[in-house]
Amino acid sequence: MAAPLTLLLIVAVTIRAALNRSSLAELIAERVEVVSPITAWKRVIEGLALLDLGVSPYSGDVFHETPLIIYLFHFLVDYAEITFMLADVITAVALYTAVKDYNKQVFRKQKFSLEADRYPADCRELIRSPKEMYYIPLKVAMFYLLNPFTILSCVAKSTCGLNNAVIALFVLTTIKGNVLLSAIFLCLATYQSIYPLTLCAPAMLYLMQHQYIPVNFWRASFWWFVVQYLFMYLGSLFVIVCLSFFLLGSWDYLPSVYGFILSVPDLTPNIGLFWYFFAEMFEHFRLFFLCVFQINVFFYTIPLCIKLKDHPVFLMFMQLAVISIFKSYPTVGDTALYLAFLPVWSHLHRFLRNIFLVSCVLLACSALFPVLWHLWIYAGSANSNFYYAITLLFNVAQILLVSDYFYAFLRREHHLTYGLYLKKKDGSEATLVLK
């Protein structure tokens, strides 16, 4: 398996290096779909220039990345291209290893269940074979590295690539069962953009499953583990926040990074739902809707945890998807991360209801983004509504995609318990409905 992965990495790096050297690189770096006000490389450079001028990068409203990023690039600014390629490679390798491990566990669990004869007899079709699972990790790496979204993001040097790498490492360490490293990477991801905070729950669920701790509120071992994990997580968060403070000598970065993410003052168009909504918002409703939209991102954590408490990896995927759809400054790089998980759920394909439609819409939207942007901004023959309509459609498609996978996952679980070919009382073939 190492050879195809190496080949894949070489191809991916070659594509990126070629694009970086072409005239397209500058064009891509300006695209609003690829870079947001937080992740734009131009703004990172601006932050460095401000540091050189002796001005705090957070005194203005151009730079919104975290202090660690600016200090990282203080040293690596000349090697930025390599850094971003490396981040992509790390993400891909981490996801590859994580998925490989996860598949092993899935297979082992399936074997136990089969030996215990837990599956109904007609579910043979749903049992996954090692042969079909063999190429999944490679497909995941391929889905990430060769996804045009990721390539664009890397060529534009969007710092989103670094966030993705941190999240991928978090997934890897969680699946490996390393509690401390998992907490540390989660804390890094949270530090970068707040939203990964919700990944705390799937991580804890997974680690508890890994350590055979029952999820039971009446058990001391459960609470002991939760306290342990939260202590590590919050402790490292505290350390990293203080470290940033000492690097800069002021707390300016807190409002400038997290206040900026939460209060959405920059209405530069992007692929998300926030920009046009808050550009057109009535001023006295602004705070209310801001709260509603931000709570919306965090809201799904608890119900999803309850529903998917036995499947923390799928829960992680759901959380990543929800974050990338509903976050305040999404870019295609965020989308690319959860799309990379799709091959892991390839066994759900038979239950997907509208995957064809959704993928067509996603493709069409991706093509229409630059077209309508050009019509609005350069040609002047369209207005903002055109671009906004495409962002709406893109988000609807993403929501349908995620909910479709969720539906398929739940349905497969149902079939694994009750049998695949369900019959009505009178013996005729029955159809399943949600009630």
Give the DSSP letter of residue 376. Answer: I
* Residue from 384, 416, 419, 420 in contact with other proteins (CB under 8 A): 384
Comparing CB distances to other proteins, the nearer of 37 and 343 is: 37
Comparing CB distances to other proteins, the nearer of 88 and 404 is: 404
CA distance 179 to 395: 34
Residue 383 near other proteins by CB under 8 A:
yes
Q: Which long-range contacts (CB under 8 A, 24 or more apart) does 284-290 make?
A: 290/262, 290/263, 290/264
Q: Which stretch binds other proteins (CB under 8 A): 113-121, 145-153, 334-342, 375-383?
A: 375-383
Residue 432 near other proteins by CB under 8 A:
yes
- Which residues, 385 to 404, sit near other proteins by CB under 8 A? 385, 388, 392, 395-396, 399-400, 403
Question: What x/- string results for residues 326 through 345 when contact with other proteins is judged by CB under 8 A?
Answer: x-------------------
**Is residue 43 a contact partner of residue 50, using CB atoms and an 8 Å limit?**
no
Question: What x/- string results for residues 220 through 259 when contact with other proteins is judged by CB under 8 A?
Answer: ----------------------------------------
Q: Is 409 left (phi over 0), alpha (psi -120 to 50) or beta?
A: alpha
Residues 6+ apart with CB under 8 A from 108: none
* Residue from 46, 81, 101, 252 in contact with other proteins (CB under 8 A): 46
Give the DSSP letter of residue 323. Answer: H
Sign, Cα dihedral of 312, 317, 321, 327: positive
Q: Which stretch binds other proteins (CB under 8 A): 9-17, 106-114, 189-197, 383-391?
A: 383-391
CA distance 286 to 69: 31
Which residue, chain included where needed, has tokens 């050009």? 374
Residue 293, CA distances (Å) to 272, 325, 326 in order: 11, 11, 8
Comparing CB distances to other proteins, the nearer of 131 and 435 is: 435
CA distance 170 to 175: 9
* Residue from 139, 210, 307, 309 in contact with other proteins (CB under 8 A): 307
Question: What x/- string results for residues 52 through 91 when contact with other proteins is judged by CB under 8 A?
Answer: -x-x---xxxx-----------------------------
Rounded least distance, CB 334 to other proteins, Å = 15
Residues 6+ apart with CB under 8 A from 386: 372, 375, 376
Residues 6+ apart with CB under 8 A from 308: 314, 315, 318
Rounded least distance, CB 22 to other proteins, Å = 20
Residue 300 near other proteins by CB under 8 A:
yes
Identity of the amino acid at 158: S
Rounded least distance, CB 335 to other proteins, Å = 15
CA distance 371 to 64: 28
Question: What x/- string results for residues 94 through 133 when contact with other proteins is judged by CB under 8 A?
Answer: ----------------------------------------
Nearest to 373 by CA among 387, 391, 355: 387
CA distance 346 to 133: 9
* Residue from 11, 18, 24, 49 in contact with other proteins (CB under 8 A): 49
- Which residues, 265 to 284, sit near other proteins by CB under 8 A? 265-269, 273, 275-283
Identity of the amino acid at 266: D
Rounded least distance, CB 373 to other proteins, Å = 8
Rounded least distance, CB 310 to other proteins, Å = 15
Q: How many residues bind other proteins (CB under 8 A)?
A: 65
Nearest to 163 by CA among 271, 39, 296: 39
Residues in touch with other proteins (CB under 8 A): 30, 32, 42, 45-46, 48-50, 53, 55, 59-62, 265-269, 273, 275-283, 289, 293, 296, 300, 303-304, 306-307, 325-326, 376-378, 383-385, 388, 392, 395-396, 399-400, 403, 406-407, 410-411, 414, 422, 424, 430-435
